[in-house]
């Protein structure tokens, strides 16, 4: 059986986030981008996380802290709570660097620039 995608979609990785992470395809929706960014955290693909952050907001995110968060965490699950054209609310569950079970709920905003979806910010 094919490897299931990290983003908990229930689809095969090769038919879900992998084509986005490898750059073969561009996500068509904010939710696809959000899911692929979660998969990028799981696979510690810092370059993808930076590339898919809006050029207008990239300065607020440090590659070093993304790398530390991604690699010091054990990613358990992603649940999409709600999703609309430009917003995705989700909960990511992971063990932090002290092995504490953590639930990170975020309301993320996305924007489309020149036909490409980017993550803007979240709260």
Residues 9-28 contacting Zn ion, CB under 5 A: 9, 16-17
Q: Does 7 bind Zn ion (CB under 5 A)?
A: yes
Nearer to Zn ion, 25 or 65 (CB): 25
Nearest to 52 by CA among 108, 101, 10, 98: 108
Nearer to Zn ion, 46 or 78 (CB): 78
Taking the complex as a whole, the smallest distance from the CB of residue 60 to Zn ion amounts, in Å, to 25
Stretch 27-56: interaction string toward Zn ion, x if CB under 5 A:
--------x---------------------
Coil, strand, or helix at residue 115? Answer: coil
**What are the phi and psi torsion angles at 84 (to 5°)?**
-130, -170
Across the strands, what pairs with 89? 82, 107
Coil, strand, or helix at residue 100? Answer: coil
């Amino acid at each position: 059986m094919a490897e299931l995608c990290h983003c908990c979609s229930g689809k095969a990785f090769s038919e879900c986030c992998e084509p986005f992470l490898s750059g073969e395809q561009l996500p068509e929706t904010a939710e696809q981008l959000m899911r692929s960014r979660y998969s990028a955290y799981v696979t510690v693909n810092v370059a993808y996380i930076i590339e898919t952050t809006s050029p207008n907001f990239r300065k607020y995110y440090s590659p070093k802290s993304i790398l530390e968060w991604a690699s010091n965490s054990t990613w358990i699950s992603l649940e999409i709570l709600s999703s609309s054209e430009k917003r995705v609310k989700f909960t990511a569950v992971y063990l932090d660097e002290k092995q504490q079970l953590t639930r990170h709920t975020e309301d993320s905003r996305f924007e489309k620039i020149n036909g490409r979806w980017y993550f803007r910010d979240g709260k």
